[in-house]
Each structure stands twice: as C-alpha cells, then as structure tokens.
Structure 1
C-alpha cells in the first residue's frame, strides 16, 4: 500500500509550484498569460518530438522555437488566414521523420490549437470562465488520483493506461460536478454548468488517455523528466489539452459568443 503513495510528496510540491505560476498567468492575463501558454505549448511539441525521435534533440528544439514564433504571430494576427500557420510545424516536423509522421502531425496540431484556444478563451470570455475550466481539470485530477489510489478496483482502460481505474474516473466526474455547483453559487451560471463540467471532466480524461496511448506506442514512461513527480509538461497538461479542444469545438459549432458569468 505504501508504494501507492511514493510519488505523493514530489507530486504535491511540483503541483504547488505549477499552480502558483499558472494562477499568476491566468489572473494577470494579457501578455503574461500569452507568454506562459506559448512557452508550455512549445515545450510540449519538443517533448512530442523527443518521444518519437530522441536521437535528434536539436531538431526538436528548433521546432519548439518555431512553435513559439508561429503561435505568437497567430495570437497577434487573429485572422482566419493566420490560423493556417497551425499546419506549418506539423508538416515540417512530419517531413523530418522516417516513422510516426501521422502521429507527430496529429498531436503537434492538437497541441497548437489547444494553446491558441486557451489564450482566446482568456481574452474573449475572461478570467472567471477560464478559472472554471481549469478548476474542473484540476479537481478531476485530484479526486481521480486519491479515489483511484484509495479505492482501486477495475481498470478503466488497462491496455492504454494501466493505473487509471473506474473509481478514479467516476470520482473525477463527481469532483467536476462539485466545481460546477460552486460556480452556480458565486456566478450567474445556471445549473447547466454542472453537466457541462462533468463533460469537460471526461474530455480532459480523454486527453490524458490520448497521451497515455502515445507514450505506450512510443515505449516511454513519461514525456520528459522536467517536473518531479509528474514527468513532463505534456504529462501535466494533457487533460487541459483535451478540455480546451472540446470547448473550442463546442464554441465553434454552436457559435458561442461568450459565457454569462
């Protein structure tokens, strides 16, 4: 039983540090949040490259630098034509690989789109809206971690993510519902946000599953070793990517102009 909690201390300390940095960026907004998202996005693309082609780190760093430049330009540009730049890094990176070209293309594209979406969520919908989404993701992870380690039980998808259990997965949904309910008390959001919070929770979990499938395919335990107890930034923000992509899809399909908080 003790081994289940061996990673708790470094995980908690790293989480505290990331929370402080992330909270500053989210609250400050503007250029501060943009720089934070650009940095995290670029590092995740570097980690993606290194998982596929670890023997050529220089190319990975150059791609990361290109991501930072392209994403910064897209944020400043804001036009539909500028969004075509999303394909630059995935295409260039894929052409430099002898295998897993489609894998790199799909994940690199998803990472960039999610990063762009986060910045625009903050600009278009404001601090509270982004705080809600991030709270759902964080609480889902916390509830899922402790419920999974404490209750155990049947695995959610053992071939992809051996540690993820149904107890942890459902606990994450419950935690997300609690977050949604809290936001109905302190904001003007209706009860619908409770259901949406649970759906966002599931989308984040699917982001986690997607990254787990990638690591399993690449034969690696973590995306990198940058964060003690968490692996890499990709390991830490995979759920945020899933949630952001889902919200971006919903906002686009239903032409949501904003959220009434």
Structure 2
C-alpha cells in the first residue's frame, strides 16, 4: 500500500504547539519538582478546569453552572489531599451527581468523565507523594514521549487510521511509534532505577492506556460536535485536550501500583 507524503500544511501548527508546550512544560516541571502543596494546587487547578471544559462541551449555554461545578471540584480536591481515601471516593461523587441533576441529556457521559477526571487527578498527587519524584517523572515521560513519537510518525509516515470513526487523525504508524517510544523510556528507567525488565512492557501498556484516554476524549468531542474542549491553549485547544492521555495513564497506574504486585518493578 502506498502512502501520500505529508504536505507542508501538515506542519503549520508546529511552531504554535511548541511554544505552548514549552510554557506548559516549565510550569508542570516546576510543580512536579517542588512537589507538596505546589504540585497539589497545580493538579487541583487543572482538574477543576477540565471539569469546566467537560460541562461546557455538554452545556455550552450555561457557563455559570460550569464555573460553580469547577469551584466545587477545586474545593473537594483541595480538602481530599490530606483526607482518607475511602471517604474521598465518596466525595468525588458529589460533582458528578450534581451535574447529572442539572442536565437532561448526556447524564452518563458527564458522570463518568467527571468522576474519572477527579480520580486521575487524585492519583497523580497520590503517586507523587507515595512513590516520589522519579516515578512520577517516569509516568509523565511515557505520556510525553508517546505523544511526541506518535505526532511525528503520524505526520511523516501517515498510513491506515487507527480508529477513523472516533479519531480520524490518529494512525497506526503514530500509535505504534508511541509504544516504541514508551518502551525506550522504560529501558532508560530500568538502567537508572531499581526497576527490573518488567518496566519496559509496563511502560508500553501505560502508553496504550494514555492513548485510550486520548481516544475517549476524541469520542466525547465527536459526540458533542466540537473540535476542541476549549481554546485556552494556542495550538492545543483546552487542558482536557492536552492532558487526556495523562488521565488515562494515571487511572491505569492507580490500578497497577495499588492493586497489582508486579515482579521486578519497585515503585
């Protein structure tokens, strides 16, 4: 099968994306390195904004309710940082339940995504505090490298679409390149940490989980008939567009770190 070479227009958004990404990397890196309350507040802010974006995709004509729900998310997340996990899981139901009572359509959609966003945000903070900077760096490196490898391979190689009905721009070449990039990250961390060789396949599965987070958000946008979750970030859309893969990876990692004891991997 022959593939069409990429046209110059395919790279038109690269400069804008790189500039926006640079700002996000600086802010994110500062929060991750400092840890503690700084990282917690960064996650609280991002989580609240993503719930607001979720609401605005479903109910764009009711921004005030979206802002109130975002403020409630920030309050619950801030209080939960020092709270008990089981009780926190109950608190995380408040916003999804309130949101469901305020809309007549897409109730299940709002409930699932609002709950998932909060759990993923909590998981990132939990992982940073319990397992330290190194393993959060690993998680973020897998997600970032997956995105970079996937973006450039998809643009340069193209080819068959991964899931055209849901995400028409995502190709098999970009998807596979993301797995390869994640495997490379796993290999590097195997050499630099106490993790055994299992970290390589886990990194690749984590990459896939991140890609499924991306796919889930793409499906949501197509369902809502919007191109981006918002226009907050030039070249990237909204925070939900930028961190959807991190959400998927975080939810997967909660399962791996807290439920499964993987031999040869020490978090």
How far is the alpha carbon of 1:250 from its aligned partner?
Answer: 2.1
Equivalent residues in 2 for 1:156-167, closer than 5 Å: 156-167=162-173
How far is the alpha carbon of 1:251 from its aligned partner?
Answer: 2.5
Report the counterpart of residue 193 of structure 1 in structure 2: 199
Equivalent residues in 2 for 1:22-101, closer than 5 Å: 22-101=28-107
- Unaligned 5+ residue runs, structure 2? 1-6
Report the counterpart of residue 205 of structure 1 in structure 2: 211
CA contact (8 A) 1:74 1:83 kept: no
Give the SS at the match of 1:9.
Answer: helix
How far is the alpha carbon of 1:255 from its aligned partner?
Answer: 6.1
Q: Normalized against structure 1, the TM-score is what?
A: 0.97
The yes-or-no answer on 1:102 pairing with 2:108 is: yes
- The Cα offsets for residues 166-222 of structure 1, whole Å up to 9 and x where unpaired, read as 000000000000101111121121111011000000000000000000000000000
CA contact (8 A) 1:144 1:170 kept: yes
Q: Normalized against structure 2, the TM-score is what?
A: 0.95
2:255 equivalent among 224, 249, 256: 249
- The Cα offsets for residues 96-143 of structure 1, whole Å up to 9 and x where unpaired, read as 011101100000000000000000000000000000000000000000
Equivalent residues in 2 for 1:220-239, closer than 5 Å: 220-239=226-245
Give the aligned CA root-mean-square deviation in angstroms: 1.1
Moved over 6 A (4+): none
More helix per residue: 1
Shift in alpha-carbon separation, 1:91–1:255, aligned structure 2, 3 A: farther
C-alpha distance in 2 between matches for 1:192 and 1:79: 28
1:149 equivalent among 142, 155, 159: 155
Equivalent residues in 2 for 1:93-132, closer than 5 Å: 93-132=99-138
Provide the aligned length of Structure 1 versus Structure 2: 259
C-alpha distance in 2 between matches for 1:251 and 1:129: 11
Report the counterpart of residue 4 of structure 2 in structure 1: none
